[in-house]
Chains A and B, each alone.
Chain A
Amino acid sequence: MVKQPTTKNQSEGFYRLISFLSPILFLFSWETLVRVGLLDYRFFPAPTMLVEIFVEMIGSGELWSHVSISLMRVLAGFALGALPAISLGLLMGWFRAVYAFFDPLIAAIYPVPKIALLPLFLIMFGLGETTKIVTIAVAVFFIVLITTVNGVRLVDPILTDVARSYGAHGWRLFARVIFPATLPAIFTSLRLGMGIALLVIVGAEFVAANSGVGYLIWTSWATLTVKKMYVGLVLIALLGVLSTQGLERLRKLTMPWAQDFHTPR
């Protein structure tokens, strides 16, 4: 029978409630510990103090200026890396010759932590935006590429058998079967890629920027404005959550047939 979501909803609400509990408890204890003086507010400012500075930074526009520039870098680098990676990954997964041609090169470059290439890109592109965007793009490219290639190779052979038995071949087989069958793997690769993009942007902005969330965190340390550092940490976490949710929404839109990741079955 078709499965109906009947009793599931109420238990789902219960689990959602539980998930809220731990952060609230955490923030509450933190606040209390600072108030009673067990935590030094100069290093661990209480959550309420952070809210204060947060609001202040929104008002002055400082917050948005950092977030927007980081967002721009991440999104540009992400797109620049992911789109070619998906295309090449599909080709490498599907055509043995394309795989054989590119594989040695990729196997050689893949293990290099991409942030280590930042100095090289600084030499090539200077201190401007290009350097940061390219570093993110390269990091995203490799992880998305490799996950996509694997995705194509793991397409259930029964699906290609069925398609072939109905006369599908060449481009049609690729577009109607291989590509949709690889979509779940592609979305997994995009999630991984987004995580890496955030890692790289923070690293790059630590050393080679004078704006952005990474820069905010770094200079706050250097100038001992610890509260702003915490704001930076919260912001980068927010960027992570928002981007993951954006991808999740895109995934649901593109793959209405797919089951939810977290629903146990």
Chain B
Amino acid sequence: MTAEISILHVGKTYTTPQGGVVALDDISLVVPPGEFLCIVGPSGCGKSTLLRMLAGISSHTSGEINCRAVDERQRPLTAMVFQEYGLFPWRTVLDNVMFGLEMRNVARRERIVIAQDYLAKVGLAQFARAYPHQLSGGMKQRVAIARALANDPAILLMDEPFAALDAQTRYLMQEELLRIWEADRKTVLYITHSLEEAVMLGDRVAVMTARPGRIKQIYPIDLPRPRTQALRTSVAFNQLVATIWEDLVEEVNAAQLQEWTAIAEQKGRTGWLNSQQRKTRVKVSTD
């Protein structure tokens, strides 16, 4: 089976006025079609950078990215959902959902039919004419998901989509996302800082190293589908979370050390760093 996405030795260096920032350096990852892959890693390790490159809003500086499905302009057929929703406040809910189709020059009549269909799928059919500011956070993210799906992407990219929502809403949204995904099993790349969310949703969970991020380890999640929140109490679920956490915590500590080193260099005080280092070994918490 050909891979949906293959990322080979990809690097990304941001150029800033202060010089280059190496966000990614030699990351490789292969994703088969129809897989729900969750990516976890310490903050700042380059997760968003990776997704932005796949979404076509950022370019890689080395290596190769290949996607099976591309459009006429050789752009990967991806659609991205951002943590910040990114709805256009001047457009109604329906017009927001139609945005991608509009950019692809789909005829207006057709756009409306497709958009209404996906709005119904996320349970917001009756809010088609509302404006984003009239919606709650959870509803906004539903609209953003409908907008992404309406574009019929081969790959759905999600960058911490539910991180800004309260716990109850987040749980509901997770189940809803799974329900929608089960229907057509698109390839999903899902970034989260919650390991439990990753295990809950993913077919596999990839752990990234501290910056510059690489794939450290990939864990298959052999939990039965369809999954619901009831899974959280199962032994298998909690064992997986605990195992992966051991791996992840090393990277979180390494990332923290990096950060402190940078601050210490700025402050020119190494004594401060040593005292912080002694205090390290972050307390284990997974959500």
Contact = CB atoms under 8 A, between A and B. Distances in A.
B133 A257 contact: yes
A183 B89 CA distance: 11
A72 interface: no
Interface residues of A, number: 24
A111 to B, nearest CB: 27
Given A257-B131, A259-B133, A159 B86 contact: yes
A89 B29 CA distance: 44
A172 interface: yes
Contact of B130 (A2, A183, A255): A2
Nearest to A173: B103
Nearest to B90: A180
Contacts of A258: 89
A2 to B, nearest CB: 5
A164 interface: yes
A142 B281 CA distance: 57
Interface stretch (B38-46, B76-84, B164-172, B225-233): B76-84
Nearest to B132: A257
**Most B-side CB within 10 Å, residue of A161, A180, A183, A259:** A161
A2 B131 CA distance: 10
Nearest to A167: B103
Interface in A213-265: 255-259
Contacts of B134: 2-3
A17 interface: no
A1 interface: yes
A172 B82 CA distance: 21
A255 B131 CA distance: 11
A124 B71 CA distance: 59
Interface in A41-81: none
Contacts of B52: 161
A192 interface: no
Given A158-B86, A177-B88, A166 B99 contact: yes
Interface in B81-122: 82, 84-86, 88-92, 99-100, 102-104
Contacts of B127: 2
A3 to B, nearest CB: 6
Contact of B57 (A3, A165, A256): A165
Nearest to A254: B90
B23 interface: no
Contacts of B75: 167
A164 B56 contact: yes
B220 to A, nearest CB: 29
B2 interface: no
Interface string A138-172: 00000000000000000000110111111110001
B79 A166 contact: yes
Nearest to A168: B103
B243 interface: no
A257 B89 contact: yes
Given A164-B56, A257-B133, 5 more contacts: A2-B135, A158-B86, A162-B88, A165-B78, A166-B151
User: Nearest 8 A-B pairs (CB), nearest first?
Assistant: A162-B86, A166-B100, A180-B90, A257-B131, A165-B55, A158-B86, A164-B57, A167-B103
Interface of B: 52, 55-57, 71, 73, 75, 78-80, 82, 84-86, 88-92, 99-100, 102-104, 127, 130-136, 151
Interface of A: 1-3, 158-159, 161-168, 172, 176-177, 180-181, 183, 255-259
30 contacts: A1-B136, A3-B134, A158-B84, A159-B86, A159-B88, A161-B57, A161-B82, A161-B86, A162-B86, A162-B88, A162-B99, A163-B103, A164-B56, A165-B55, A165-B79, A165-B80, A166-B99, A166-B151, A167-B71, A167-B73, A167-B75, A177-B88, A180-B88, A180-B90, A183-B90, A256-B131, A257-B90, A257-B91, A257-B92, A258-B89
